[in-house]
Amino acid sequence: MAGLDIGRSEVRMVEFSGSRIQTAQLACCAREALPDGAIGDEGIGNLRQVMEAVSRLWGKSGSQARQVAIAIPSSRALTQIVAIPAHSSQAQRAALAERHAESLLPYPPAQALLDFRIIGPTHNAPDQLDMLIAAVRRDDVEDRIAVAESLGLQTVVADIESHAAAAALNRTLPAAPASSVFAMANLETHGALLSLCCAGRVVGERQLDIGHRQLQHDLQQYDGDQSDVLAGYLAQAAAHLAGALQTLQQQTSCVPTHIVLTGAGATISGMEEAVHKRTTISTAVATPFAGMVPPPAIDRAQIAMDGPACATACGLALRRFDR
């Protein structure tokens, strides 16, 4: 089973080999750009263009996988963590999840797909459990399933992109996930998402309008010293991240020990340093493939460059070890 991340500006895939997550090895990894406008704020706008891009992606990767895990954009998902009685039955949990989800939905429940899972004991409440509830528009899932099916691929898992990326990063943490608190900044072409992760789970998120698409345009059009353009963008992006992080800390009472940068924008020259300087928190670019030896056919330098952008696809690919 491979991980297929259908992003706003490109599609990415990752596939692992091995029978256990502790000994997983990278088998395939590829990225393919999407035409501008193929996916918009409201979802996939041109299915044909996305299908063609995924077809090129699969051909480039050389993958023989016939099953995939897909990601739903965090901006399109509604989540809530609620405390429930530890002794509740599965039917009672399903009823609670449906009731809570319906209170969150800005659209009719018939248009939604709902899921829930127990994520651990409730803090300072031994007789309760924390349950994560997630709801997404049915169309957002079915459009991505249609893209996979156009290649004869069977979709077996759908996950929220930030949760998948967090799972990939948890694998590489030096400390046990149960004691780790970190922030994850997913920097993409059309925007960014800051997630706060505590004890192996995403506890808060903020969408940020600091995509680097405008930076790319400005650098192409600017005839003068491009370092000034880059410095201005880095300062703005770091300031937005710092402000969002402060808000999340106040909302969750979780203070991160470090910040991890993911997405295509994570490798922009000077980004790591700018975020660290503004937040004064240890900052690093994500290395989701840490400890893995790629096959000879995959260039190691290219994998190091692609790693931050492929964090979500990496987390999706790890779902094969859940089965």
Tens of pLDDT, residue by residue over 243-285, are 999 999 999 999 999 999 999 999 999 999 999 999 999 999 9
CA distance readout (Å), 293 to 24, 84, 165: 9, 42, 20
> Span 143-168, mean pLDDT?
96
For position 103, what pLDDT does the model report? 87
Q: What is the pLDDT of residues 188-202, one digit of tens each?
A: 999 999 999 988 789
Mean pLDDT of the chain, nearest integer: 92
Maximal CA-CA distance, the chain? 67
Global pTM reads: 0.92
- What pLDDT band is residue 177 in, cutting at 50, 70 and 90? low
> How far is residue 235 from each of residues 78, 214, 298, measured CA to CA in Å?
31, 14, 35
Nearest to residue 165, comparing CAs of 145, 147, 187, 148? 187
DSSP state at residue 153 = P
